[in-house]
Amino acid sequence: MRYCFIIITLSILTLHGREAPAIIPRPVEMVQLEGYFSINQSTQIIYTPDCKQEADYLQKILAADTNPNLVSLSSTPVQSNFISLEINKALHMPEEGYLLIVTESNIHLQAATAHGIFNGIQTLRQLADSSGPLIPAVRITDYPRFPYRGMHLDVARHFFNADFIKKYIDLMAELKMNHFHWHLTDEQGWRLEIKKYPNLTQTGGFRKETLIGHSLDFPERYDGIPYGGFYTQQEIRDIVRYAKERHITIIPEIEMPGHSRAALAAYPDLGCTGGPYDVNTRWRRKPDVFCAGREFTFEFLENVLDEVMALFPGLYIHIGGDECLKERWQECEFCQNRIRTENLKDEHELQSYFITRIEKYLNSKGRHIIGWDEILEGGLAPNATVMSWRGFTGGITAAKSGHNVIMAPVEYTYFNTYQAQPEYEFLAFQGYLPLNKVYRYDPVPENLPSEYHHYIIGSQGNIWTEYIKNTDQLEYMLNPRLAAMAEVLWTPREMKNWQSFQNRLGSYLNHLDNKEIKYSSGSFKIDITTARDTIENRYYFLLNSEQPDPVIRFTTDGTVPTTSSQLYTSPVFLKNTTQVTAAHFQKGKIYRGVFQKTINLHVGMSATLKVFNFTDSTYNQSEDNVLIDGLYGEKKFDNDNWQIFENSDFSVHMDFATPTEISDMTINFAEYSMVWASFPEFVTVSISDDGENFHEIQKIMSDTIAPVDHIKTFSVTVNSQKIKALKIFAKNRVYKQPALSSLLVDEIFVK
Ligand code: ACM
Ligand code: ZN
């Protein structure tokens, strides 16, 4: 009967149109009940003794937000008007989960762990935030999808002080994130006080000056201003405690063997040549890295790691491992001697020796290592967790060999890339990652067999700070992408919904406004896409932006839209090749740029496309038919029209419903250093008039021009033959990064 009552109540609520409370990340299950709980001066918090810390935390945030006189009480029995926090170990709840019931007379929050209570408190805070002191009655059952939900921060390229780090941790905690990956050392600065080696911070913590502009700008210019800073061990302990109270584990990253120049500047005997070295002042790497042949390197690192372990009690220590240049090792007698005495094949195996030796040391102290995916090269250390940043491939390989994986692919998780159209943004690392792309990210690749899924323990957002000079800029890059990532990592995949997220986002942005935290208000970029009605074989174009209620006007004659141009309301029918020009309008004026694309209708668009070798399909940057959507990928930060093929050849099969006359075809490949894409070695095209027997009509050889970014068109003459099917194959080449090589492909244009 009670169940029925809830159903009836719900339908009444729907009739009255009460909006669902805006909770981010979206809870697993939320049932709205009738009425509100009102927090007032006599509301009391009661709690079981094992969650006193959480009760104190709740009291503090409610006092700050709503009610300064709220009292915390441990065991006084009260009849109503209370908020109870109860750890109930018998509760059947996944780790970190909670059950929150708000009625008109009280609020019950239960969990099996204090962490679960803390997560429930964050939901409660958002309920209060989105509706004031009146908290809507609800019953919420909630728990996370992934155990590892992280956020990274590089403090080596630019330094952010201890107070700001606490603010960062608070932002994470409010969204139920639970790991803070703190990148403390790199070529441009060593930021962690180590008592045994004071020069690390006194020398390695400061650089002479800093590059102005982008690392690809030429000629290089420097600002002439000394720059630096570091955290004392006292500050670190305070931050670790602060994070622990918020159920966030800090993972310190001490980079080795590469990205280590600041340490070399402090102690030149750590390098192969013995120095002298400066703390790097530009963003491009220099060749000097820790010497893998000298014993002093390992003695030093073990001593450093002893102090690191004393400061950071968490299980994981991140040892970096990425992008280690090998040229010094090739020339160093100590390193070459190590290769000989340890029977190693090459410098990749020397890197593996290095990482495995450090892993053994940390394992002997009860700790585990995390390393970037380069630690796979030359053989993976036996117990390592792999952080896969160069796409999904490294993570897939690691999972298949039984290692835990934290996914962090550049394309979806690097928040130092642009999140809106670059001409209106701060200078940033190249790459375009708007909010909706973070939102559609899934850390578990579709093609990873399900028996390996549990090795993907989660993912994280990453912020590298080469171009991020101050906290305003950092907050702007972080928010609201952090909120999208939090939902990706917490909410069940089937409950993710972009429209719903956008509806809830406003309330979160208000919260950031109240705390005077900066964020990007979304992109005013307009995505021009096409859709095919397969029944009628008709084509449409669509205009989308991240704005909640956009006013978009467009033309199809190449002119810039005006206030009298057609207002976009729904997909527009395409009769032939069309140039679409669109813009946002605010107060009768174009706001933030004009967007234009030519949609080239061609016969290939009517084919059925079969794409083989979809090894990393989740890495692909757009919808399935992007290869025959009439739109060319452009050489910009936005790659939504490209398809990527990581470590695999490109192979497609196009079938026409009836024999079709074709004169020629073109296909575009791109070289794009950010995703390790280079031109194929060759492209072949084969045709068939029966759909079964093919013969090759052309083979085109190609060079690579990397690392500069280019597009190249491969053209094939078919000579007006009537064909039933077409096969295109492109051979992937091994790029300079041995572990990753991709092909970036766009429109197969068929005339
Ligand atoms: C990285 O971005 N080098 C891990
Ligand atoms: Zn060496």
Catalytic residue list contains 653: no
pLDDT, position 74:
53
Looking at the chain, the domain(s) classified CATH 2.60.40 span 525-599
- Please tell me the distance between residue 274's alpha carbon and the centre of ligand 2 in angstroms: 9
Distance separating alpha carbons of residues 440 and 443, to the nearest angstrom: 10
| Ligand 1 atom index nearest CA of 410 | 2
Reply yes or no on whether the pLDDT at 570 is more than 70.
Answer: yes
* Ranges 313-317, 421-425, 490-494, 582-586: which has the least confidence: 421-425
* Superfamily (CATH) of domain 148-514: Glycosidases (3.20.20.80)
Tell me the ligand closest to 273's alpha carbon. 2
Higher pLDDT, 455 or 430: 455
Pair 519, 546: CB distance under 8 Å: no
Distance separating alpha carbons of residues 391 and 446, to the nearest angstrom: 13
Closest CA to 429 of 466, 472, 461, 376: 466
Q: In sequence order, what are the residues at sequence separation of 6 or more whose Cβ sits closer than 8 angstroms to the Cβ of residue 154?
A: 183, 186, 463, 464, 465
pLDDT, position 736:
53
Higher pLDDT, 378 or 512: 512
Q: How confident is the model at residue 739 (pLDDT cuts 50, 70, 90)?
A: low
Reply yes or no on whether the pLDDT at 61 is more than 90.
Answer: no
Distance separating alpha carbons of residues 49 and 229, to the nearest angstrom: 41
Domain 603-750, second-level architecture:
Sandwich (2.60)
Distance separating alpha carbons of residues 179 and 315, to the nearest angstrom: 11
Name the residue of 154, 372, 388, 466 to mutate for ligand 1: max ligand atoms within 8 A of Cβ.
372
Residue indicated by tokens 């959507």 = 629
Q: How confident is the model at residue 129 (pLDDT cuts 50, 70, 90)?
A: confident
- Please tell me the distance between residue 205's alpha carbon and the centre of ligand 2 in angstroms: 24
CA angle at 354 for the pair 349 and 356, rounded to the nearest 5°:
90
Higher pLDDT, 462 or 720: 462
Q: What is the pLDDT of residues 586-607, one digit of tens each?
A: 999 999 999 999 999 999 999 9
Active-site entry in 245, 307, 323, 349: 323
Reply yes or no on whether the pLDDT at 458 is more than 70.
Answer: yes
pLDDT, position 662:
92
Distance separating alpha carbons of residues 328 and 268, to the nearest angstrom: 14
Reply yes or no on whether the pLDDT at 2 is more than 90.
Answer: no
Pair 481, 435: CB distance under 8 Å: yes
- CATH level 3 topology of 525-599: Immunoglobulin-like (2.60.40)
What's the CA dihedral at 436, 440, 441, 444 to 10 degrees? 170
DSSP 373: G
Catalytic residue list contains 16: no
Residue 516 tokens, joined? 């005077």
Active-site entry in 54, 142, 186, 527: 186
| Ligand 1 atom index nearest CA of 387 | 4
| Ligand 1 atom index nearest CA of 462 | 2
Pair 176, 144: CB distance under 8 Å: yes
The kind and range of the H/E element at 262 are: helix 261-266
Distance separating alpha carbons of residues 611 and 654, to the nearest angstrom: 9
Cβ atoms within 10 Å, residue 529? 20
pLDDT, position 40:
81
pLDDT, position 75:
57
Identify whether 707 is preceded by a cis peptide bond (ω within 30 of 0). yes
The kind and range of the H/E element at 668 are: strand 650-671
- Alpha carbon 468 to its chain centroid, in Å, reads 17
Reply yes or no on whether the pLDDT at 706 is more than 70.
Answer: no
Phi, psi of 144 (to 5 degrees): -85, 155
Q: Ligand 1, atom 2: nearest CA belongs to which residue?
A: 389
pLDDT, position 16:
41
Distance separating alpha carbons of residues 253 and 182, to the nearest angstrom: 6
Distance separating alpha carbons of residues 217 and 89, to the nearest angstrom: 59
Q: Give the predicted TM-score (pTM) of the model.
A: 0.92
pLDDT, position 71:
56
Average confidence (pLDDT) over 697-723: 83
Name the residue of 323, 374, 460 to mutate for ligand 1: max ligand atoms within 8 A of Cβ.
323
- Alpha carbon 169 to its chain centroid, in Å, reads 17
Distance separating alpha carbons of residues 17 and 144, to the nearest angstrom: 29
Looking at the chain, the domain(s) classified CATH 2.60.120.1190 span 603-750
Q: What is the pLDDT of residues 270-294, one digit of tens each?
A: 999 999 999 999 999 999 999 999 9
Lining ligand 1 with CB less than 6 A are 322-323, 372, 389
Looking at the chain, the domain(s) classified CATH 3.20.20.80 span 148-514
Distance separating alpha carbons of residues 407 and 442, to the nearest angstrom: 9
- Please tell me the distance between residue 407's alpha carbon and the centre of ligand 1 in angstroms: 12
Q: What percent of the chain has pLDDT over 70?
A: 92
What's the CA dihedral at 487, 492, 495, 500 to 10 degrees? -10
Distance separating alpha carbons of residues 597 and 581, to the nearest angstrom: 7
- Alpha-carbon torsion (510, 512, 515, 518), positive or negative: negative
Q: In sequence order, what are the residues at sequence separation of 6 or more whose Cβ sits closer than 8 angstroms to the Cβ of residue 135?
A: 36, 37, 38, 39, 102, 107, 124, 127, 128
Higher pLDDT, 112 or 6: 112
Tell me the ligand closest to 274's alpha carbon. 2
Q: What percent of the chain has pLDDT over 90?
A: 76
| Ligand 1 atom index nearest CA of 464 | 2
Task: For the chain, state the CA radius of gyration.
Answer: 28
In 371-403, which positions are buried (b, 16+ CB within 10 angstroms) versus exposed (e)? bbbbbbbbbbbeebbbbbbbbbbbbbbbbeeeb
Beta bridge partners of 110: 86, 99
Closest CA to 520 of 637, 635, 438: 438
Closest CA to 66 of 109, 140, 110, 130: 130
Mean pLDDT score of the chain: 91
Q: In sequence order, what are the residues at sequence separation of 6 or more whose Cβ sits closer than 8 angstroms to the Cβ of residue 43?
A: 67, 70, 81, 82, 83
Q: In sequence order, what are the residues at sequence separation of 6 or more whose Cβ sits closer than 8 angstroms to the Cβ of residue 289?
A: 257, 258, 259, 260, 261, 264, 271, 272, 324, 325, 328, 329
Residues with CB under 5 A from ligand 2 (ion): 272, 291, 293, 332, 334-335
Q: How confident is the model at residue 210 (pLDDT cuts 50, 70, 90)?
A: very high
pLDDT, position 726:
93
pLDDT, position 439:
96
- Please tell me the distance between residue 389's alpha carbon and the centre of ligand 1 in angstroms: 7
Closest CA to 426 of 489, 455, 382, 469: 469
Reply yes or no on whether the pLDDT at 6 is more than 50.
Answer: no
- Alpha carbon 164 to its chain centroid, in Å, reads 21
Average confidence (pLDDT) over 661-670: 92
Beta bridge partners of 748: 667
Higher pLDDT, 702 or 613: 702
Tell me the ligand closest to 322's alpha carbon. 1
pLDDT, position 15:
32
Cβ atoms within 10 Å, residue 534? 9
| Ligand 1 atom index nearest CA of 389 | 4
- Please tell me the distance between residue 267's alpha carbon and the centre of ligand 2 in angstroms: 14
- Please tell me the distance between residue 660's alpha carbon and the centre of ligand 1 in angstroms: 48
| Ligand 1 atom index nearest CA of 372 | 4
Mode of pairing for the β-strands spanning 44-47 and 82-87: parallel
Which alpha helices (H) appear in 365-432, and where do they start and end? 393-400, 410-413
Q: What is the pLDDT of residues 329-370, one digit of tens each?
A: 999 999 999 999 999 999 999 999 999 999 999 999 999 999
* Superfamily (CATH) of domain 4-142: Chitobiase/beta-hexosaminidase domain 2-like (3.30.379.10)
Tell me the ligand closest to 157's alpha carbon. 1
Average confidence (pLDDT) over 437-459: 95
Distance separating alpha carbons of residues 530 and 571, to the nearest angstrom: 9
Tell me the ligand closest to 460's alpha carbon. 1
Pair 429, 467: CB distance under 8 Å: yes
Average confidence (pLDDT) over 431-448: 92
pLDDT, position 110:
97
DSSP 731: -
Average confidence (pLDDT) over 616-627: 56
Reply yes or no on whether the pLDDT at 543 is more than 70.
Answer: yes
Distance separating alpha carbons of residues 140 and 548, to the nearest angstrom: 27
In 345-360, which positions are buried (b, 16+ CB within 10 angstroms) versus exposed (e)? eebbbbbbbbbbbbbe
What 3-state DSSP class applies to 626?
A: helix
Q: In sequence order, what are the residues at sequence separation of 6 or more whose Cβ sits closer than 8 angstroms to the Cβ of residue 386?
A: 370, 371, 372, 373, 375, 376, 380, 394, 395, 398, 403, 404, 405, 406
Reply yes or no on whether the pLDDT at 67 is more than 50.
Answer: yes
Q: Ligand 1, atom 3: nearest CA belongs to which residue?
A: 322
Beta bridge partners of 668: 713
The Cα-based distances of 717 to 663, 664, 693 in angstroms read 6, 4, 19
Reply yes or no on whether the pLDDT at 617 is more than 80.
Answer: no
- Please tell me the distance between residue 337's alpha carbon and the centre of ligand 1 in angstroms: 29
Catalytic residue list contains 186: yes
CA angle at 545 for the pair 541 and 551, rounded to the nearest 5°:
90
| Ligand 1 atom index nearest CA of 414 | 2
Pair 145, 38: CB distance under 8 Å: no
pLDDT, position 68:
53
pLDDT, position 10:
31
Active-site entry in 247, 259, 318, 653: 259
Residue indicated by tokens 């009517």 = 606
Reply yes or no on whether the pLDDT at 621 is more than 80.
Answer: no
Phi, psi of 183 (to 5 degrees): -85, 95
pLDDT, position 619:
43
Beta bridge partners of 541: 530, 572
Pair 152, 145: CB distance under 8 Å: no
What 3-state DSSP class applies to 484?
A: helix
The Cα-based distances of 498 to 434, 702, 739 in angstroms read 13, 41, 34
Residue 21 tokens, joined? 């409370």
